[in-house]
Amino acid sequence: MSERDTSGPGGRQGAEEVGGLEASALQLAAQVRSGARSAVSVVEDHLAGIAAGDGEIHAFNHVMEEEALAAASRVDERLAAGEDPGPLAGVPVALKDNLCTRGVPTTCSSRILEGWLPPYDATVVARLAASGAIAIGKANLDEFAMGSSTEHSAFGPTRNPHDTGRVPGGSSGGSAAAVAAGFAPLGLGSDTGGSVRLPAAYCGVVGMKPTYGAVSRYGLIAFASSLDQIGPFGRTVADAAALLEVVAGHDPLDSTSIDAPAPAVSAVLDAGVEGLRIGLVTELSGEGTDPDVRRRVAAAAEALEAAGAKVEDVSVPATTLGLSAYYLIAPAEASSNLARYDGVRYGLRVDAPTNGGMNVASRTAGFGDEVKRRIMLGTYALSAGYYDAYYGKAQQVRTLIIRDFAAAYERFDLLLSPTAPTTAFPFGAKTADPLSMYLTDVCTIPSNLAGDPAISVPYGLGDDGMPIGVQLLGPALSEPTLFRAAAVLEHSMAPTGDGGPAAGRERTT
C-alpha cells in the first residue's frame, strides 16, 4: 500500500488497495435485501480487507470475526424466510471501543479495562443489530476518548489511510480510519469535543455530532457526561444519514435522552439550500487556520451560494473561550466518572498490602499519561477553594457560548467553519506539547459546550495532499437542515475531489 494516494473523491485511497469495497452502505444493503448478494459474502469480503490492510493501519483493537459471520448468517436466514432484516441489512459497522458490546472485549483502549467483557449491549449497538447491520470490530481510540490523534491508545496508534506517517485524528480515529480504508462502510464514534468530526476531516469521510440527547448514551463508557454524544461516520452523506436514523431516538434507559423520534434526515437530502441563511463564523477561520483550509471553506461558501443560500460573515464572540472552558469542564467530569476504576469491581487489579495501596497501584498501572493528566486537572478544578474560580467560571463561559450561538441562529439557519485549523499532522508532532494538541479541537468544541449538532463534510485536499473537512453547525434538532446543506456540498465537489465551483479562490465579502 502506498503511503499516500490522492485518487478518488476527497483523495481517499482506492478501496481495492486495502481489500475493502467501493459500494456505499446503502448500495450494499440494497444488494443484500434484494438477494443479489448474501450478507455473509459482504462480511467475508470486509474481513478479508481487514486481514490484508489493518496490520498497517491498526483501526481495530478487536475484530469480531465469529460474531460478525454469525450475525450475517442470521440476516441471510431471515431473508430466506421472506422477512425484511432491516434498512442496513448486511452492512458492516466499526464500533468505537468505548461502546459496550455484550461478551466482546470493550477496553476504551486502556489497560485498566483490558479483557473486560460487558454483560450488556449499548443501546446503539442493539439498534444496529435490529437494523440488520453487522458489528465487525471494536475500533481503536485515544484512551477513554481523551485525545485528538489516536496516539494515546494503550494498544498503539491508528494510522491515517491517506498517509500512514500521519495521525487519523481522535479520539475516534479507529472508526474514521476503518471507514476511510474500506474496512467498513459505516462507523460509530463518540464526540465530546470534536472526536467524531476531527477524525472525519483528517480521514476524508463524513462525521456527525447530533444534538445532545438525540442519540442514547446508555452503554457508552463515559468521559464527560454533559458533553459526550454518539455520532455516525460514513463515506457519503446519505450513508451517515441512514446510520443516524437507525441509532437515534428516545431511550428510557438514558435520562438525558430527548423524548422524540429519530430525525427524518434521509428524506430531505435532495431538498437543497435555496433560501437558507448561512453564517461564516469569523472567529473559527482566523489566526491559526492554514491558508489552504481557509480556501476550502471559502469554496464551500461559494458552493452554497451557488445553490441558492445566502452566506454572510457572522461573529460568535464567545467561541474564542470554548477551549479554555472545555479543558476545565471535561476533565472535571472525567475525574468523577473515572473514579469507578478502583481495581475492585472490574478491570485491572494490582495487589498491594492495603486497599488504598491497591487502588493507587491499579490506577497508576492502568491509566496512561494523558488520562492521568486530565484526572489531575479535573480533580484540582473541583477541589475546595478552587471550584468557584475554575469549574464555576467555566460553566459561566459555557452559558455565554450558548447565548452567542442562540443570537447567531436568530439571523442564520446554519453556520459554516473549518472542522480543523490544519490537515492531519505527522505522528509525534504534538505529543510533547499538550496545548498544541488541544488547539486542534478549537473549531469543534463550541458545539459540544452548546449541545448543538454539527457535521464535517470532506471538501477537497490541502497543499500537502491530505483531506480537508468543512463544518456545518446548527441549532438544537436541526439535523435535517444540516444534512440538506451537507448533501449540497458533497454534490458540488468535482469528480477529482479538487473542489467546488470556486476551488482555491479566496472568498470576498
Sequence-ordered list of residues with C-beta below 8 angstroms from that of 355, at least 6 positions apart, any chain: 344
First-to-last alpha carbon distance for the chain, in angstroms, is 43
Question: How far does Cα 355 stand from its chain's mean position?
Answer: 38
Residue 95 sits at φ, ψ, to 5 deg, of -100, 125
Report CA dihedral (351, 355, 361, 366) to the nearest 10 degrees: 90
Whether 271 shows a pLDDT value over 60: the answer reads yes
Cell numbers given for 170:
481522535
How many other CB atoms sit within 10 Å of the CB of residue 348? 19
Four-residue CA torsion sign, 334, 336, 342, 345: negative
C-alpha cell at 135: 458489528
φ/ψ (deg, to 5) at 456: -105, 130
pLDDT of 22 reads: 74
The pLDDT tens digits of the residues spanning 391-437 come to 999 999 999 999 999 999 999 999 999 999 999 999 999 999 999 99
Say how far apart CA 123 and CA 498 lie, in whole Å.
Answer: 39
Our measurement of the distance from residue 325's CA atom to the centroid of its chain's CA atoms, rounded to an integer in Å, reads 21
Please compute the mean of the pLDDT values over residues 353-376 and round it to a whole number: 96
Cis ω before 109 (30° cut-off from 0): no
Q: Using CA atoms, how far apart are residues 168 and 200, in angstroms rounded to an integer?
A: 8
Is pLDDT at 501 greater than 60 in this prediction? no
305-343 confidence digits (pLDDT tens): 999 999 999 999 999 999 999 999 999 999 999 999 999
Q: What is the DSSP letter of 373?
A: H
Q: In Å, how far are 156, 191, 441, 448 from 111, measured between CA atoms?
A: 12, 22, 26, 28
Which pLDDT value is given to residue 11? 34
Interval 371-376 mean pLDDT: 96
Mean pLDDT of 26-35: 98
Model confidence band, residue 497 (pLDDT cutoffs 50, 70, 90): very low
Locate the domains of the chain by residue range: 26-320+400-492
Percentage of the chain surpassing pLDDT 70? 93
**CATH architecture label of 26-320+400-492:** Alpha-Beta Complex (3.90)
Residue with cell 498491594: 352
Q: Is 67 helix (H, G, I), strand (E, B) or coil?
A: helix
Contact 273, 307 (CB under 8 A): yes
Residue for grid cell 479541537: 441
Sheet (strand 92-96) strand order: 60-63, 134-139, 92-96, 186-190, 230-234, 206-209, 454-461, 467-473, 414-418, 277-281, 310-314
The residues annotated as belonging to the active site are: 96, 171, 195
Higher pLDDT, residue 506 or 306: 306
Predicted local confidence at residue 509, as pLDDT? 36
C-alpha 177/C-alpha 249 separation (Å) is 27
Strand, coil or helix: 388: helix
pLDDT tens-digit map of 94-134? 999 999 999 999 999 999 999 899 999 999 999 999 999 99
Q: Please report the pLDDT score of residue 346 as a whole number.
A: 83
In the chain, % of residues over pLDDT 90: 89
Q: Which three cell numbers stand for residue 237?
A: 452523506
Binning pLDDT at 50, 70 and 90, where does residue 495 land? low
Mean pLDDT of the chain: 93
Q: Which set of grid coordinates corresponds to residue 161?
A: 489511510
Encode pLDDT of 140-179 as tens digits. 999 999 999 999 999 999 999 999 999 999 999 999 999 9
Tell me the pairing of strands 277-281 and 414-418.
Answer: parallel
Q: Per-residue pLDDT averaged across 233-251, rounded?
A: 98
pLDDT beyond 90 at 496: no
The residue ranking higher by pLDDT, 493 or 135, is 135
Within 197-348, residue ranges assigned H as helices are: 197-203, 237-247, 291-306, 322-337
| Residue 275, Ramachandran bin (φ over 0: left; ψ between -120 and 50: alpha; else beta) | left
Q: Which residue has the cell 443479489?
A: 36
One-letter amino acid for residue 228 of the chain: D
pLDDT reading at 9 higher than 60: no
